Each structure stands twice: as structure tokens, then as C-alpha cells.
Chain A
Amino acid sequence: EPEVTQTPSHQVTQMGQEVILRCVPISNHLYFYWYRQILGQKVEFLVSFYNNEISEKSEIFDDQFSVERPDGSNFTLKIRSTKLEDSAMYFCASSLVGGGAGETQYFGPGTRLLVL
């Protein structure tokens, strides 16, 4: 069964450094998402992406964050200058269609980011 994959599984970085989290969505999916979960807190929506542009973003997704689909398979989340509070589990998801409630999103296993 096709699945969403994410690399790396764990990343440790120093505050102020740039990190890139990578995701390979399910191949025929068209909508891509990033979520994060700070330890002990809820999973929170960051951004959705369709047709090579951001569809929607949350307040969390500020200028420090960017997303890109650099080729036909990868979907990346870049944090330009990491802060301690960026430490979290980051989940990538994809869906076949989007734009409304009820569409199933398929999630990857997550990347655990630790900022020191």
C-alpha cells in the first residue's frame, strides 16, 4: 500500500540554524500538508500546498517557514533560523483531492526536530 515517507526521522540542530524536512507524498496525490506537534500539545496545522503554491497557512507559519516541491516527488519544509520553540514532531500529509471537509489525509511517520 502506498504511504507517505519522511526524512530524517530525527534531527538535532543548533538554534539559528536552517533545517529542511523532507517528505515524499503518495505519488498520485495533489494536495500536501505540514502539521506539527509540540511535546504534550495538540497536532497543529501549519500549511497546505496545491499546484505549486500555498493554499492556506496558519498563524504559526510565519516568514521563518517555507515550503517547496522541488521536483515531482519531494515536498519540503524549511525553517530558516530555528528557535528553541520549533522543537516538535513535524508531520507531512497528502490527499488525492482537497479543498473541502471530508477528504482523507494520509500522514507520514513524522520527523522529530530538537533545537538546542
Chain B
Amino acid sequence: AQSVTQLDSHVSVSEGTPVLLRCNYSSSYSPSLFWYVQHPNKGLQLLLKYTSAATLVKGINGFEAEFKKSETSFHLTKPSAHMSDAAEYFCVVSVGGSQGNLIFGKGTKLSVKP
């Protein structure tokens, strides 16, 4: 069965420093993996997705994630945090063979200090 574990419920960084949000997955199939972001009172916005092409995936707003099959990880990174990056981030795996059922991690709240 597919599952996703986000290792940190809350991450706090200073503006201009790197961001690392950790995600591990479990999947019986070759997974499709996503990172979504939710700003307060906004919908879930897709940051990036991995669908078995390049293992290093670039997304919007300078974020990227690397699919590492040997480590079953899909960590999200950004070289330099901006105040506007403060939000909740969700790592998501798509259930293969379904009609698009997504399985969400519990979310990581990113705080950015000035």
C-alpha cells in the first residue's frame, strides 16, 4: 500500500538560508510524487511533480525535489528562503492503478524569519 511520511511537522529557517523539507514514501508501484503548497486561505497549489522522468524535478518559485529510489525519498529543497515561502507543504503520492486517488503526507509548516 502507498503511504507518505513527512518527517517534520514544522521547519523554521531564516530568510536567505536553504530550505529542506523531508518526505519518505512507500509504494508498491513505481510512484508519481507531488509537492503541494498551501498559503493561508488559499487552495493547494502544485509546486512540482515526479512521474518517472528525470529524478531531479524543478518546480515553481525556485523549489526542486530529487527522487531517490534507494532511499524512498522525495525531499523538497530551495537554496534561499523568501518570506513569501512561509506556508504549509504537502508531499503527495498518487495511487497507481486508481482513478487518481492521492495520498497526502501530514504536512510541514514552514516558517521564515526575517
A-B contacts, CB under 8 A, total: 78
Q: State A100–B95 Cα separation when bound (angstroms).
A: 8
Closest to B4 in A: A42
Residues in chain B near residue A107, CB distance under 8 A: 36, 43-45
The complex places the Cα of A9 from the Cα of B40 at a distance, in Å, of 12
Closest-CB distance, B7 to chain A (whole angstroms): 14
Asked, given contacts A101-B51, A102-B49, A108-B43, whether A48 binds B101 with beta carbons under 8 Å apart, the answer is yes
As a 0/1 sequence over residues 88 to 109 of chain B, the CB contacts with chain A under 8 angstroms (1 = contact) are 0010001111111111111100
Known A42-B104, A43-B107, A102-B51; 11 more pairs at CB < 8 Å: A9-B41, A31-B99, A33-B100, A45-B102, A55-B99, A99-B100, A101-B29, A101-B96, A102-B49, A105-B100, A108-B43
Q: Interface on B for A, CB 8 Å cutoff?
A: 29, 31-32, 34, 36, 41-46, 49, 51-52, 90, 94-107
Offer 14 A-B interface pairs, CB within 8 angstroms, sorted by A: A9-B41, A31-B99, A35-B102, A42-B107, A45-B102, A45-B103, A56-B99, A56-B101, A100-B98, A101-B31, A101-B95, A102-B51, A104-B49, A110-B43
Residue positions of A touching B, CB distance < 8 A = 3-4, 9, 31, 33, 35, 41-45, 48, 50, 55-56, 58, 91, 93, 95, 98-110
